[in-house]
Amino acid sequence: MDSVCEKMNDYVRATFKKNGTLTVMPLLLGGQMNPLMSEVDVVQDSDLNKSLQYYCEDIVNDIEEDLINIMKSGDDDHIVHSICTNVVQLCPKKDIKVEL
């Protein structure tokens, strides 16, 4: 769990120029500069966007026990859905259809 948030150093906070919507996006995609960079204004902060990693670590620490329990459940096909709907409650609940 300790290394989950390290990749956040490769992301930046930005706002879309056309509507001001805040986003978090990777600087590079496939080894190339993210093509969306021309459509956003990067949000500069005093810690050079290290706060993304800090926020990630804070969230992971808050829900670490729930994350471990979900991963132990063995339901690998629905881990992301379970975390998003049941743990952090950011995604709408929907029926998951299981093919027979």
**Global pTM?**
0.63
Which pLDDT belongs to residue 99?
Answer: 60
Kindly state the tokens that stand for 24: 């978090």
In the predicted structure, residue 98 carries a pLDDT above the cut 70? no
Task: Please name which of 67, 73, 21, 71 lies closest in space to residue 43, comparing C-alpha atoms.
Answer: 21
100 pLDDT higher than 60:
no
Q: What is the CA radius of gyration of the chain?
A: 17
Q: What is the pLDDT of residue 91?
A: 81
* Partners of 15 in beta bridges: 22, 41
Confidence grade of residue 96 (pLDDT, cut at 50, 70, 90) = low
CB 35, CB 29: distance < 8 Å: yes
Which of 52, 2, 63, 54 lies closest to 27, judged by CA?
52
Angstrom distance (rounded) from CA 78 to CA 3:
22
β-pair partners for 26? 11
